[in-house]
Amino acid sequence: MNAPIVQLSNVTKVYRQGKLDVAALRGMNLTVNAGEFTAICGPSGSGKTTALNLIGALDRPTSGTVTLEGKQLDALTRKQLSVIRRDRIGFVFQAYNLLPVLTAYENAEIVMALQGVAAEERKARVMELLAQVGLQGLEHRKPTELSGGQQQRVAIARAIASRPAVVLADEPTANVDSETANRLLELMERLNRDHGVTFLFSTHDPRVMERARRLIHMVDGAVAREELH
């Protein structure tokens, strides 16, 4: 069995809204192993995006522990968390989150540049990745010159360029049409199968749920049940 990458142990997350405390997660337990292609699914408000934010070190739990590759995230400093987000986690957002002033090439390269990867290696890796995601010849286009699906492919290339332990994809098919969504999912499946990239999605898209090999169903901030495909 592959080693655990992500572990949530009895995690709660409470947000203050006005004078009310709202529980987004209520004692969530989850383990994700290396090489998984797993989706956390459930209706809006079920806590799936909150769970991804905690795993991605973008937020801290109110109680319980979140562990990434054996490191307890809430015990780390801001600087240590910043390094983990840069080096060990790839992010794919539904809004793409590309930098508008940078080209597709520069957006895909930026995390490696921050890591201090040598320029020659960056170029070789980016050109290979952009070819893999079907963007060969479009390296110098800026996000406004690309379709939504092409922008999301740049985001996927950026997410895996740094060779992270896990790619977190928050509703990655939400803003694209069905044909583009299927192409993106096929791409991520291929990266998972051929290169062992671990993917963890949050979604309520049936297309993602059909392709995931493991489904984590959430209701009211907790895991209700699991399915293996």
pLDDT tens per residue across span 9-31: 999 999 988 888 889 999 999 99
Contact (Cβ atoms closer than 8 angstroms) between residue 40 and residue 203? yes
HEC secondary structure over 17-38: ECCEEEEEEEEEEEEEECCCEE
Q: Is 19 buried (19+), middle (13-18) or exposed (0-12) by CB count in 10 A?
A: exposed
**Residue 179 backbone phi and psi in degrees, to 5:** -65, -45
pLDDT tens per residue across span 132-158: 888 999 999 999 999 988 998 899 889
Distance CA 73, CA 11 (A): 12
- At 227, which amino acid appears? E
Distance CA 44, CA 155 (A): 24
Distance CA 25, CA 52 (A): 11
Pairing of strands 199-203, 166-170: parallel
pLDDT tens per residue across span 55-110: 999 999 999 999 999 999 989 999 999 999 999 999 988 788 899 999 999 999 99
Q: What six digits make up the tokens of 27? A: 């004692």
Bridge-partner residues for 103, per DSSP? Answer: none
Q: How confident is the model at residue 1 (pLDDT cuts 50, 70, 90)?
A: low
Sheet holding 20-33, edge to edge: 20-33, 4-17, 63-68, 71-72
Angle at 29 between CA 204 and CA 166, to 5 degrees: 65
pLDDT confidence of residue 229: 83
Of 29, 64, 3, 9, the residue nearest 226 (C-alpha): 29
Average pLDDT, the chain: 91
pLDDT confidence of residue 127: 93
pLDDT confidence of residue 199: 94
* Residue 124, CA distances (Å) to 25, 98, 189, 197, 210 in order: 42, 21, 22, 19, 34
Of 44, 53, 41, 42, the residue nearest 13 (C-alpha): 53
Q: Is 20 buried (19+), middle (13-18) or exposed (0-12) by CB count in 10 A?
A: exposed
